[in-house]
């Protein structure tokens, strides 16, 4: 196992890494700058888009040329070839002090994405689910900072992080209807150790969670409700992770320089970069949102 860094991949607030197996490339965001990047092995990092507003998360669609975004202006499709955006709907048009944060497609291609206050305070965020017909359902309210989302292999559990709650919650999940119920906490971590951020899941059902302020990615066993492993990074603000690469055994880890004092930025000259870590386990392919 080895930790490496992708050259020229620095972001202020790097987030939402997603592996596209069709193009063998990684996408990610610089949230506050509204920038979308891509990278493929042995190639340079490419700036795919720069929007005039924040973009909290992205997802793949069944059209490899179109990304689905959760932006400060709501849900939207972005055409990579035409460099054009098509807005779908904005469930928080009335909440001007909120922005979208993490999001992901579920096993049926529904796009789940949540919000938070721009200043990170309070519980004015929500978790939404965008269906293939463009309809939006509110799944959770009174959210501090909507973050990591994953579903297990048997598609009957959803794991979710609201960063302000300092825990990972589990829900019973109905793959047909997309309904969630029976919320319960399966892991909790003290704020002194950092804040639970983005998350992915491996083929053995273990959760890999980025720890903002903790300088690591932790592996959590949801059955034992315990940390099994830590991947230490040379940066403190670790934001998210996802599996990818040819064998889905590379863990791509995003980070941020946002929030660091100047002296810390000098010590952490790789803050904001994308890291890769070769794993002994594999993850799952990302699910696609249907455009047709």
Query: What is the average per-residue pLDDT within 261-272?
Result: 95
The predicted pLDDT at position 272 comes to 98
Query: What is the average per-residue pLDDT within 128-142?
Result: 97
Res. 2 pLDDT band, cuts 50 70 90: confident
CATH superfamily of 3-278: TolB, C-terminal domain (2.120.10.30)
Domain ranges of the chain: 3-278
Distances (CA, A) of 162 to 79, 148, 169, 249, 251: 30, 8, 8, 27, 22
User: Among candidates 86, 71, 69, 91, which has minimal Cα distance to 135?
Assistant: 91
Is there a contact between 161 and 199 (Cβ–Cβ < 8 Å)?
yes
Res. 1 pLDDT band, cuts 50 70 90: low
Instruction: Measure CA 111 to chain center.
Output: 12
Res. 25 pLDDT band, cuts 50 70 90: very high
Mean pLDDT of the chain: 97
pTM above the 0.85 mark?
Answer: yes
pLDDT digits (tens, 9 = 90+) for 165-209: 999 999 999 999 999 999 999 999 999 999 999 999 999 999 999
């Amino acid at each position: 196992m080895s930790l490496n860094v992708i050259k020229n991949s620095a972001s202020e607030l790097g987030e939402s890494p997603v592996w596209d197996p069709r193009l063998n490339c990684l996408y990610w965001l610089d949230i506050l700058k509204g920038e979308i990047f891509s990278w493929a092995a042995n190639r340079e990092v490419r700036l795919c888009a720069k929007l005039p507003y924040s973009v909290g998360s992205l997802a793949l669609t069944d059209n490899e040329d179109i990304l689905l975004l959760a932006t400060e202006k709501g849900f939207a499709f972005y055409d990579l070839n035409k460099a054009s955006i098509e807005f779908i709907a904005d469930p928080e048009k009335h909440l001007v002090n909120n922005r979208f944060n993490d999001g992901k497609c579920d096993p049926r291609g529904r796009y789940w994405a949540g919000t938070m206050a721009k200043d990170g305070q309070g519980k004015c965020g929500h978790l939404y689910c965008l269906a293939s017909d463009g309809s939006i359902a509110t799944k959770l309210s009174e959210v501090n900072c909507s973050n990591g989302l994953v579903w297990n292999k048997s598609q009957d559990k959803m794991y979710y992080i609201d960063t302000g709650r300092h825990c990972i919650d589990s829900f019973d999940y109905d793959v047909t209807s997309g309904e969630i119920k029976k919320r319960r906490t399966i892991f909790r971590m003290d704020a002194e150790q950092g804040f639970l951020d983005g998350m992915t899941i491996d083929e053995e059902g273990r959760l890999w969670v980025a720890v903002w302020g903790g300088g690591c990615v932790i592996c959590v066993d949801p059955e034992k409700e315990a940390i099994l492993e830590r991947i230490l990074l040379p940066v403190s603000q670790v934001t998210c992770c996802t599996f990818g690469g040819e064998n889905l055994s590379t863990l791509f880890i995003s980070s941020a320089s946002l929030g660091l004092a100047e002296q810390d930025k000098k010590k952490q000259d790789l803050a904001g970069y994308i890291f890769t870590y070769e794993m002994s386990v594999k993850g799952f392919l990302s699910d696609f949102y249907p455009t047709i």
